[in-house]
Amino acid sequence: MAGTIVRPTPTRIPISALLPPASNQQEIQDHDPATYAAGPSRYFPTTSYVIGPTPRTSAIHLSLEYLSRADRRLHDAPPFTNIPRRQIDDLEDDGEEGRSLSDGRGKVRAAERGTITNRHRIPISSEGLRAGERVLIISGSRGDTIDKLVEEDEDWLRSYGGHFEALQRLRRIDMRYCPTPAHLKLLLALLSESTERIPPSRPTSQAHPQLVPLPSVVILHDLAGSFMIDEEGDENEPPQDHARRPPKGHDGPCDGYDAVGAESEAFSEGADQTGQSEQDSKGEGTASPTSRRKFREGICLSDYMDVLSAAKAAVDHLSSLHPSDPPLQVLILEPNLSSSSSLPILPPLVSENEDPKMSRTNRERRIKIVEAADWIFGRFAVGVIEPSSNVREDEPLDDVSRYTFLLGDGEEVEPYGMIRRPCGRASTAKKAFEDGFVEGEDRGGWQWVWA
């Protein structure tokens, strides 16, 4: 069709970026390559929804991998071509020559919109690539997010997070924290591109809805968590995930210790013939291997779908601001849900005589959340992570926790194995003192690898 603008293809994000890359490479070197792999070679769709347990650092790894690929793609592109409309911000060379290309609004001056001279040496592709791309991560409350990262104490982040290259890319990741669904919907409604470049000496607030510049990728982490509360366990029952721990001071993978074996068993023992566990039939999302959470009383499916729709609409709006640029990519990670998590259509009755025209069966009907995601994003864009029953004969059942990841639907869908196991906690990390532990014992961090 004449006059139709064909948008450039965005830099694809590989599925393997869900887990830290350095750990994967180390596993291949230290273990049997037939057991540990570098991860799937497939890529996420432009819009993706992943339900099931993932590392608490997944959003960071996805962001770093995207920025790394975008930088390499830009570096390999033919230099000194036309500058795209989109602003050029946060150049790797942040010198006077780089800043001279932008005016106070971050837009390239009209006199310099042609071809860049060799003096600047900023490679820009006519396919829509640009320097200094950014990623936006939207998560829960700031305190909870930081506490979970500290508790995870991931070995890769501990070993490589302070490297110069990683730090430079971490600076290009914007974070917004939303402690409640109301905060989240308000932020999504107000997200926009700033018309003014904010000086580095006056950074934007963590809750600021204006972005400088627009991100290329938006990652929403644990949206369902804002509707949940921590489940109170029975004080007469021992903690299920405290059975075995790595010894204090052990740095690295610890064979024979696992904190999530009991949790994994709950998925298989509590499931009925429909595949929905008794726990999830009550509206509890318990996919996270390290915590047990449930939806607050009175939360309905429409409450959660409103947030998903608002997120999709916000990204579509931001993507439409620059139709000649690649479309924004969005990834939604729901680590506290499982494939059988469900929510009711209607809130519970206050009294039995409240709605006599509707049968009890229809009134209490529940819909699986993964089916709601299918309707909004399409089945091809929905990934599911579930506990796996595929265990090696020479591997004790309580040594590791295994999961299977499936993305999309159809005969060509290939399952990918994931392994989560403990490793020693860093000496600088916050100690975890819990009931049932000897005072001073180190709980240990966590390591995820592809299988």
User: Does 361 reside within a domain?
Assistant: yes
- Is the distance from CB of 132 to CB of 172 less than 8 angstroms? yes
- Give how many domains the chain has, as a whole number: 1
- Give the range of the structural domain holding residue 198, as residue numbers without chain letter: 21-55+133-451
Report the relative pairing of strands 416-423 and 445-450 from DSSP bridges.
Answer: antiparallel
Amino acid at 312: K
Q: How far is CA 216 from CA 135, 171, 172, in A?
A: 6, 15, 11
Of 283-287, 301-305, 433-437, the least confident = 433-437
**Per-residue pLDDT at 160 exceeds 80:** yes
Give me the mean pLDDT over the 67-72 stretch: 90
- Is the distance from CB of 206 to CB of 177 less than 8 angstroms? yes
- Is the distance from CB of 181 to CB of 307 less than 8 angstroms? yes
Distance between CA 143 and CA 32 in Å, rounded? 39
Please report the pLDDT score of residue 355 as a whole number.
Answer: 62
Q: Which residues contact 340 (CB under 8 A, 6 or more apart)?
A: 271, 275, 276, 277, 280, 281, 368
Find tokens 């291997």 and name the residue: 289
Tell me the whole-structure pTM to 2 decimals.
0.72
Question: Which one has a higher pLDDT value, 168 or 396?
Answer: 168
Q: How far is CA 25 from CA 21, 22, 33, 59, in A?
A: 7, 5, 10, 20
Distance between CA 385 and CA 370 in Å, rounded? 11
- Is the distance from CB of 129 to CB of 74 less than 8 angstroms? yes
Share of the chain residues as helix, strand and coil, in percent rounded to the nearest 5: 30, 20, 55
- Packing angle of the helix pair 301-320, 369-377 (nearest 10 deg): 30
Bridge partners of 402, per DSSP, are: 419
Helices and strands (H and E) in the chain: how many: 11, 15
Please report the pLDDT score of residue 392 as a whole number.
Answer: 61
Give the distance from CA 208 to its chain's centroid. 21
Residue 129, CA atoms < 13 Å, CB-side half-sphere = 24
Which tokens go with 144?
Answer: 């909870």
DSSP tag of 26: H
- Packing angle of the helix pair 181-190, 301-320 (nearest 10 deg): 20
User: Does 117 reside within a domain?
Assistant: no
Residues 253-269 have pLDDT tens digits of 333 333 333 333 333 33
**Residue 130: band (very low, low, confident or very high) from pLDDT cuts 50, 70, 90:** low
Distance between CA 356 and CA 340 in Å, rounded? 29
Report H helices in 52-180.
58-76, 96-99, 142-152, 155-160, 164-170
Distance between CA 60 and CA 18 in Å, rounded? 9
User: Does 215 reside within a domain?
Assistant: yes
Of 12-26, 137-151, 405-419, 427-441, the least confident = 427-441
User: Does 114 reside within a domain?
Assistant: no
User: Does 146 reside within a domain?
Assistant: yes
User: Does 388 reside within a domain?
Assistant: yes
User: Does 167 reside within a domain?
Assistant: yes
* Mean confidence (pLDDT) of the chain: 71
Give me the mean pLDDT over the 46-58 stretch: 94
User: Does 69 reside within a domain?
Assistant: no
Question: Which one has a higher pLDDT value, 300 or 102?
Answer: 300
Give me the mean pLDDT over the 24-43 stretch: 60
